[in-house]
């Protein structure tokens, strides 16, 4: 069983920064990917950024140049540094761990950006 625990959401003014963190615990196999997704009210969940265990990163176009994803394989954590936040970044942000046969999701953390 794998658990993902997210932290770091909150309320910030437009132009501000937040850092999200996600810690995974349990039986985690190698060759996995960790990522952040978000879901705004009335919208589908969408990829924000993902990073493979080897370090390859993938970003959604709408966050390129503003957000940075990183991970610590030894600690099984993934972080998302979010800079230059916009009101349209307001959403619940979810951590996801993908392994060859399973995927796991965190409970989500609210990010609210005020204009």
pLDDT in tens, the chain (115 residues): 899 999 999 999 999 999 999 999 998 888 899 999 999 999 999 999 999 998 999 999 999 999 999 999 999 999 999 999 999 999 999 999 999 889 999 999 999 999 9
Q: Do the beta carbons of residue 16 and residue 73 sit within 8 Å?
A: no
In whole angstroms, what is the distance from residue 96 CA to residue 115 CA?
28
Residue with tokens 């140049």: 65
């Amino acid at each position: 069983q794998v658990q993902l625990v997210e932290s770091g959401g909150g309320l910030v003014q437009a132009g501000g920064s937040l850092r999200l963190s996600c810690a995974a615990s349990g039986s985690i196999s190698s060759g996995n990917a960790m990522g952040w997704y978000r879901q705004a009210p009335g919208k589908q969940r969408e990829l924000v950024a993902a990073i493979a265990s080897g370090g390859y990163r993938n970003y959604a176009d709408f966050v390129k140049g503003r957000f940075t994803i990183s991970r610590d394989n030894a600690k099984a954590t993934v972080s998302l540094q979010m800079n230059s936040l916009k009101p349209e970044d307001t959403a619940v942000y979810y951590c996801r761990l993908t392994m060859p046969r399973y995927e796991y999701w965190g409970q989500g953390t609210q990010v609210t950006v005020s204009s």
